Amino acid sequence: MAGNTFGELFRLTTFGESHGPAIGGVVDGCPPGIKLSEADIQPFLDKRRPGQSKFTTQRQEADQVKILSGVFEGKTTGTPIGLLIENTDQRSKDYGDIKDKFRPGHADYSYFAKYGQRDYRGGGRSSARETAVRVAGGAVAQKVLTHILGKAAKVRGALVQMGPIDIDYRNWSWAQIGKNPFFCPDAKAVQQWEAYLADIRKTGSSTGAVVEIQASGIPAGLGEPVFDRIDADIAKALMSIPAVKGVEIGEGFAAASLTGEENADEIRRGTDGQPEFLANHAGGTLGGISSGQDIIARFAVKPTSSILTPRKTVTTKIQNTDIITKGRHDPCVGIRAVPVGEAMMALVLTDHLLRHRAQNG
C-alpha cells in the first residue's frame, strides 16, 4: 500500500500533482441508491477553493469536479465513483527558482531522499492541492452519512485559534462561520484575526492555527478495537492533512493535568430512557468506540514555510545557499484546512459506519 488510499470499506484513492493536467480520485464502497451529482460536491470544493479572499493564495482554480462513473440516473450504483478536477492555473514559472533548492519546512528534501527525484513544480504531489480531492471525497461521505443516519448527522469545522489568539468558546455561533473569511465561530475573534493576519501578510510572513471539527448525530458503537479505534483513525486522518502537527480528542492534552474525578464523564438515565452523559470531556469516544456524544477533535496547523524572509538551505547538490519563497501563498494555511478537516472526519465516520454494519448487521 503506497499510501494514496484512505479507508477500508469506504475508500478514497487519490492522484495528481500541483502542476499536472488534473487531480482526481476514486471513491469505492459507496452504498447504492444515494442521490448524487456534481452539485452535491461543488459547494464543499468552493469552501476550500483558493483566491476567495485576500487572506488566501491568489492562485485561481475553478476546482470544477466531474463525476466520471458510479452514478446512473442521478443515483449511486454501488460501483466506484471516478472524480476529476482539471488544473487550470498552473503558472509554473512562479516556482522555477526552487527547482534546485530544498525549501526549509517543505517536503522538498524528504521527497528527494525518498524517491531520488522530485516534481519541483509547486511541490508536485506534496502540494496541498491534493486536498481538493479529499474534499470531494468527503462530500460524498457526507451524503452517505445523511442517507444512513438522517439529517441529524453533521460534520462541521471551525478555526478556533490563529497564531497566539484563540476564540472565546462562550461566543461560539455556527451561523457566524459562514460570515467571515476564517471559518471563525466567534465574531469578536474575527476582528482580532483580521488585524493580526493583515500584519503577517504584509511582512510576507505566515502563522499557525488550530482547527476544531465536531461531528454530531453519530450513533454509539462505531470504532474497531484495539488498533482501528475511532479516535485513532481520526488522529491519522487529521494528521495526514498537510502541515498538521498535532491532534487531540475531547480534553486532549489538557487531560494530562486532570484527575479522574474531573475527567470521567458521569452518566444518567436520559428522558428517552437512554444513557445521557453529564459532560463530554471524552470528546465522544470511550475505549476507541463512539459513545453517541458529539465527537470533538482539534488539530494544530503549522505556519506555511513559504515566506519572503531569506532562509538558509542547500541546493540539490548539497551546497549552502539562501532561498526566498515568492509566489502565491496562504499566510495562514489553517484557514483552508477547515473544509479539509471536515472531509477527513466525514471519511472516517462513513468508513466506520460501514465497518460496523459488516460485523453487527
Q: Residues comprising the binding site for FMN?
A: 125-127, 287, 302-306, 328
Residue 303 sits in the site that holds its own copies (CB under 8 A): yes
Q: Give residue 162's identity as a one-letter amino acid code.
A: M
Q: Which CB, 78 or 181, lies closer to its own copies?
A: 78
Residue 271 sits in the site that holds its own copies (CB under 8 A): no
Q: At which residue does the C-alpha cell 488550530 appear?
A: 210
Q: Which CB, 43 or 275, lies closer to its own copies?
A: 275
Residue 164 sits in the site that holds its own copies (CB under 8 A): yes
Among the listed residues 17, 61, 63, 342, the single contact to its own copies using CB under 8 A = 17
Q: Which CB, 155 or 332, lies closer to its own copies?
A: 332
Question: What residues contact residue 230 under an 8 Å CB cut-off, 6+ apart?
Answer: 222, 223, 285, 288, 289, 290, 295, 348, 349, 352
Stretch that binds its own copies, among 40-48, 53-61, 167-175, 306-314 (CB under 8 A): 306-314
Minimum gap (Å) between residue 18 Cβ and its own copies? 10
| β-strands 289-290, 285-286 pairing | antiparallel
Gap between the Cα atoms of 62 and 252, Å rounded: 37
Residue 357 sits in the site that holds its own copies (CB under 8 A): yes
| DSSP-assigned beta bridge partners for residue 35 | 75
Q: Which of 268, 275, 213 has the alpha carbon at shortest distance from 238? A: 213
Among the listed residues 57, 176, 206, 214, the single contact to its own copies using CB under 8 A = 206
Residue 169 sits in the site that holds its own copies (CB under 8 A): no
Among the listed residues 94, 263, 280, 326, the single contact to its own copies using CB under 8 A = 263
Gap between the Cα atoms of 126 and 3, Å rounded: 13
**Sites for its own copies among residues 62-121 (CB under 8 A):** 66, 68-70, 72, 75, 77-82, 84, 102, 104-111, 113-119, 121
Q: What does 117-184 look like in DSSP terms, one character per residue?
A: S---GGGGGGSGGGHHHHHHHHHHHHHHHHHHH-TT-EEEEEEEEETTEE--GGG--HHHHTTSTT--
